[in-house]
Amino acid sequence: MFGVLRITSVLLIVASLTRVTVSIFDPLQHSGPASPYFDAPSQFGIPTATPSGCRVDQAAYILRHGSRYPEPGSFAGWQALFAKLHNQSQTYTARGPLAFLPQWVPPVDDIPHEPLFLSATGAGESFMLGVDLRKRYGFTAGGGNLTVWAASQQRVLDTATYFLRGYLSQGNYLSSPNKNRGSIVVLPDSVNFTFADSLTPSAACPNYNSGNTGSAKATAFRAGYLTKIATRLNKFLKGLTLVEGDVGVMMDLCGFQAEINGDTRFCDVFEPEEWLEYEYAHDLNYYYGSGPGNPFAAATGFPWAKAISDLFAVGPNALPENGNGNFVPPPLIMGFTHDNNLPPVLAALGLWNTSSTRGVYPLSPTTPNPVRKFRSSYLVAFRGYIALERITCGDVSGIGSGAAFVGKNGVFVRVRINNAPVPVPDCTSGPGATCPLHDFLGHVEKRSVQSGDFVQRCGLTGVANATSKVEFLTRQPEDILLVGL
């Protein structure tokens, strides 16, 4: 009898194991701003598909440029690591996960031109976003044009250009470049004279940097784990000693080298728990630097959110009733910018900063909370984005309480962050946890009080031409770059 019970128990255990899905840890999804683009996993269990019986009739994206080569300062760190590993007066041996170090060379072979510029992966990411959104929304007919907006640094313009190529390309127009063209409205990048009317508004907010404590908090947190990692890795070396700064460079190289030349050996050097600490240091940097933890961030992100809500209020192919613009933006509104300009929009909309679990926000400077939603890897990875979709539905009377869905003629709003739907706080009564447009407009108005006026919060009262509004979307473009496809 005992033998039968034991066999039965073993069979039950084996059966249960076959139902377990093993999740493989991927460092490239925990590398913060060094991550090549990936769709963020669902954090709220909301399906990514547009709810049945509904369609998106207007959408707005604000996104980071695609994958790039390192900034000059970061590249200097790569060069210093290379010099240390190839010091002719020093002989060392490396084994285990570090066995490749004596042969490693930095993945930059055109030093005068590559740092800061878009990589081939970045071009591909941008092109595929164009392809995906053309298929997803179907807003633009074949042979049509699309106008987009971009900050003026070259990697941002290149991202917009490759996006347009993916979105508009069809047929063979090589011999007819005047057909199927895209237009890029080029906006000044990181200047102090455009104020809120910009895709880089924080640069024009004098008080913004005074609220930025992200770098200090991230540096303090890194000090707690880099030494431990260096101690572990030095066991694989003889004749060479890695220090904390070397470890930081090596962790950065995981994402950068993967997107530049596909080499993931640095990704394999570190343990999953070490990657989670690395990611959290970036979380602190963005949360307290340009996100909800910076008391001036929401004021810099709100003007864009307000401009989009005004356009959603009237729907596609129309100008807001309270504006004086003379240019009707397309149904797909694309704004290309830099990583630090996404968290302010998050803060302005009040996303990823509330939790039913106490003690999650504000983020702890010392102890990562695993239930937090704010993760830099899911927002500011290369080509990361925040998207707002205006969704019209047919017969919604049978959904939920009926009246709650009326909104404005069955119109709803959904937020996506790196493709994953994210609910608007206290506004999920629509199909697929969407927010009725009327309620979303009310939410934005409430957030205007919490975010504060750009001119006032930034200390610009009395400054000539200072504005708290985004008007470039509805103003006849002056500086247009035509992209022949």
CB 393 within 8 A of CB 54: yes
Strand 332-337 to 54-64 pairing: parallel
Residue 236 CB-density burial (10 A; 0-12 exposed, 13-18 middle, 19+ buried): middle
Catalytic residue among 30, 65, 282, 338: 65
Whether 109 is catalytic is: no
CB 330 within 8 A of CB 147: yes
In three-state secondary structure terms, 163 is: helix
Q: Does residue 70 have a cis peptide bond before it, meaning omega lies within 30 degrees of 0?
A: no
CA 423 to chain CA centroid, Å, is 17
**CB neighbours of residue 52 within 10 Å:** 10
Sign of CA dihedral 311, 315, 318, 324: negative
In three-state secondary structure terms, 61 is: strand
CB 444 within 8 A of CB 459: no
Catalytic residue among 189, 197, 283, 339: 339
Biggest distance spanned by C-alpha atoms of the chain: 91
Integer Rg of the chain from CA: 25
> C-alpha dihedral over 59, 63, 65, 66, to 10 degrees?
-70
Whether 65 is catalytic is: yes
Strand 93-94 to 420-422 pairing: unpaired
The set of catalytic residues is 65, 339
